[in-house]
Chain A
Amino acid sequence: EAQVTQNPRYLITVTGKKLTVTCSQNMNHEYMSWYRQDPGLGLRQIYYSMNVEVTDKGDVPEGYKVSRKEKRNFPLILESPSPNQTSLYFCASSSTPSGLGGYEQYFGPGTRLTVT
């Protein structure tokens, strides 16, 4: 089954304790992205990756890191989480968007993070 998986699904942590949220896709997609979803703000892009070893900042990258060492995996790292990073996080993947317009992004089930 084609899917994007995220782990963990729920996480409660304390300020400053480093954490990693994993994301994996089995569709051989080049493009992967992380979003955070907050009430009234929709989904905002944190980081994206056009391919292995190619990453770039989205609209809200502060406080986050990513890496893309393998095509299927795109972990999100919070080195020193703060309460304002409490949010619902989604990983997504798609084929490489082209000049003909974008491609469908497939979203994972989400990770609800609470930082106290």
Chain B
Amino acid sequence: QQQVKQSPQSLIVQKGGISIINCAYENTAFDYFPWYQQFPGKGPALLIAIRPDVSEKKEGRFTISFNKSAKQFSLHIMDSQPGDSATYFCAASAFGMDSSYKLIFGSGTRLLVRP
């Protein structure tokens, strides 16, 4: 059962354009929503994260928009650059009733920014 659904699977954007990646979740107990960026041959690295008590978070060219009622969140990359070409993963996490903690990832979006 996939608890975090991510789309699109791949995305091609021209330099200077806006890249938008969407995620939807099912578990209303999720309380932390990070986005990870992964370059070929590397491990994922945290890009930006948001908690459900805010609707938007911006860090430089990267913005997370969060819609709690729709259980959706998205990553916007403004003025996309070739160096942004990477795979992006959304994720969600929550503590379980037994104090367990899991981070659930989406399936990933491969972004290519053309010069």
Contact = CB atoms under 8 A, between A and B. Distances in A.
Contacts of A40: 9, 107-108
Contacts of A100: 51
A104 B46 contact: yes
A42 B107 contact: yes
Interface residues of A, number: 28
Contacts of B107: 40-42
Contact of A105 (B46, B51, B108): B46
Contacts of B31: 101-102
Contact of B93 (A41, A50, A97): A97
Contacts of B89: 42-43
A1 B85 CA distance: 26
Interface stretch (A13-21, A67-75, A77-85, A107-115): A107-115
B43 A107 contact: yes
Interface string B72-115: 00000000000000000100010100011111111110000000
A109 B41 CA distance: 7
A58 B101 CA distance: 9
B101 A42 contact: no
B43 A99 contact: no
Given A41-B107, A48-B102, 11 more contacts: A33-B103, A48-B100, A58-B102, A97-B32, A101-B93, A102-B32, A102-B34, A102-B93, A102-B103, A108-B43, A110-B42
14 contacts: A35-B105, A42-B105, A43-B89, A45-B103, A48-B100, A48-B101, A50-B99, A59-B104, A90-B44, A97-B95, A102-B101, A105-B103, A109-B42, A110-B43
